[in-house]
Structure 1
Amino acid sequence: MEPIEINAGAWYLRALRADDRIDDRPALAECGITDPDYVAERSAGWTAETHFSWAVCEPTTAELVAEIGVTPAGDGTAAINGWARPGYQRALDAGLTSVRRFVEGGLGLRPVTS
């Protein structure tokens, strides 16, 4: 599956990126995620349909302020989790609401918050 972009009101959700236009690795490193393969692994999850992840971003700068992940369980459910940079809990909450709707409507799965 190709990554799905989601509009979450004041926030924009997109796939994690590390390219010449947008590089999420510095924001991830600020939050303790320093694995150099992290973004590539998240991209591979979309391709394999084993894990879907979104960078919750400022819409004007595309800066990552939170991340949301969805892992289908194979039993009709999907675990949803996320984290936010300090001061961005509202962004995470708005993103989680939109992702839950996508999981139910777009993937036909029952969301389970982990």
Structure 2
Amino acid sequence: MEPVEINAGEYYLRQLRADDRIDDGAALVAAFADPEIRRWQGGLLVEDAVGAKKYVEFRAWQWESDQRYSWAVCDQLLGNPVGEIALKDVDPHNGSAELVCWTAAEHRGRGIAGHAATAVIGFGFGFVGLHRVSYRQAVGNTASRRVAEKTGFTLEGRLRGAQLVQGEHHDLNIWSRLSTD
């Protein structure tokens, strides 16, 4: 699928970019330097400009291959990325995907992730035709729990020791929303 941009009112969701006009690399490097993002993110981390470019290219490839639809969450005024949100592990057969997100440290606590999540969930149910969107939250990550609660997810249970965080296994809460909710 070609990347889709979403006007989410106060925020604008667009594909991450690293080209002549817009380069999100510096924002990614700064965000991934944050200890909280490094703690909970796992997986891909951005260390420098080269890593940021590879990250952006990988996200573009994921769009093209319909594996993950991800957006830079940008403020409407300046267009600068303040976070990232995505539907990953898109499964068209079962009509399911998992919502993932992060917000840069200096923008946390303002409801940005919840606002963006509402728009992305609407995209998933309406445009992609998903039936179920899941969300996993490390038990110790209270900010992530607030995103799930504020965006109408239902807590389904706990996955014991399911995420490796800084060398220790942590439990994950699993949440879901259905298109019929």
Calculate the TM-score normalised by the size of structure 1. Answer: 0.93
- Give the structure 2 partner of residue 49 of structure 1: 66
RMSD: 1.3
Residue 40 of structure 1, aligned match among 57, 68, 78: 57
Structure whose alpha-carbon radius of gyration is higher:
2
Percentage of identical aligned residues:
39
The structural deviation recorded for 1:73 is: 3.4
- Give the structure 2 partner of residue 81 of structure 1: 100
Which residues of structure 1 form unaligned runs of 5+? none
- Give the structure 2 partner of residue 106 of structure 1: 127
1:53 touches 1:67 (CA, 8 Å); kept in 2?
yes
Mapped to 1, the partners of 2:20 and 2:114 lie a distance apart of 29
- Give the structure 2 partner of residue 30 of structure 1: 30
Mapped to 2, the partners of 1:8 and 1:88 lie a distance apart of 17
Calculate the TM-score normalised by the size of structure 2. Answer: 0.60
Which residues of structure 2 form unaligned runs of 5+? 33-45, 137-181
Mapped to 2, the partners of 1:98 and 1:44 lie a distance apart of 22
Give the structure with the larger strand fraction. 2
Which contiguous aligned blocks of 4+ residues in structure 1 show a shift greater than 4 angstroms? Answer: none
Letter in 2 for 1:113: Y
Mapped to 2, the partners of 1:76 and 1:100 lie a distance apart of 13
Mapped to 2, the partners of 1:47 and 1:25 lie a distance apart of 20
3-state SS in 2 of match to 1:69:
strand
Mapped to 2, the partners of 1:93 and 1:20 lie a distance apart of 31
Q: Which has the higher contact order (CA 8 A, sep 6+)?
A: 1
